[in-house]
Amino acid sequence: FNGTVGNSSKITPVDNVNQWGKLIVNLKDNTLSIKHAIFNFGTILINNGFTIIDSISMEHEIFNNETIGQLLRIESGSASVSNSDFAVDNGTSSYGNGEGVFLSQSNGIVQNCKFYSLADPIQFSYSDSGIVKNNMIFNSPDDGIDINSCNNFTVENNSIMNCKDKGISISSDAMLVKNFNIRRNIIRDCRIGIGLKDIEKSFVENNTLYNNDNGFYYVKYLSEIKYPVVIRNNIFSQCS
């Protein structure tokens, strides 16, 4: 699928109206590289192995209430996703449908990407470690960055604007999560800037939160939490 700078490979329907479906790749223990490619009106599922995504564009529109899930989903492997753009036509995505990059039981890095009008543009679930940095997120109908039941993450230098729920959400499914560094992010015009649930041994520092309904939200359900979350040197402006 690799193109070159200025001459990207393209996978797109002939009529630009109907989606072409899903590209499914089962890597086992192999490596897949997709660089300088354009995918319109279709999705990608990659299982196992190591995936390198660099300088691609994925755009979709949800027709007739169809279900497309995530534009790019990585299952039970690891991945590097860089320098790429992901979009669903404004107003057609919703929670669980029309999401962006989703790494499930996969470690990885998502960096230097742009996301437009996607529900949960960047999502990790049950991952052991990850990095999310230098991304731009616009107009999500749900969370901006959603990290669920994971440990050992750095979330830094992201710009997140106009999310109907949380700009950054760190949560868990009835389990303790720890070792997060959330720093130097700019989050504005969201319902909640940063939301944390059942997290310990973590730092939230040097973030700028502007014009969010609530700047910061932390909820603790598990009694076994013993270590603090350090919140320091953040800027809150026009947040309740």
Mention every residue, 6+ apart, whose C-beta is less than 8 A from residue 156: 131, 132, 133, 134, 181, 182, 183, 184, 185
Least confident of 12-21, 26-35, 155-164, 177-186: 12-21
Q: Decide: 165 and 143 in contact? Cβ < 8 Å.
A: yes
Residue 98: predicted pLDDT: 74
Residue 12: predicted pLDDT: 84
pLDDT band at residue 89 under the 50/70/90 scheme: confident
Nearest to 87 by CA among 105, 113, 49: 113
Q: Decide: 209 and 195 in contact? Cβ < 8 Å.
A: no
Least confident of 8-12, 32-36, 61-65, 216-220: 61-65
Q: Cα(146)–Cα(26) distance, rounded to whole angstroms?
A: 25
DSSP assignment of 100-142: EEEEES-EEEEES-EEES-EEEEEEES-S-EEEES-EEEEESS
Residue 58: predicted pLDDT: 93
Q: 70, exposed or middle or buried, with CB in 10 Å at 0-12, 13-18, 19+? A: buried
Q: Say what the pTM is.
A: 0.94
**Mean pLDDT over each residue of the chain, to the nearest integer:** 91
Mean pLDDT of 26-55: 93
- The pLDDT tens digits for 109-154 are 999 999 999 989 999 999 999 999 999 999 999 999 999 999 999 9
Mean pLDDT of 92-113: 86
Q: Cα(35)–Cα(76) distance, rounded to whole angstroms?
A: 21
Nearest to 115 by CA among 153, 147, 72, 151: 72
Q: Decide: 110 and 122 in contact? Cβ < 8 Å.
A: yes
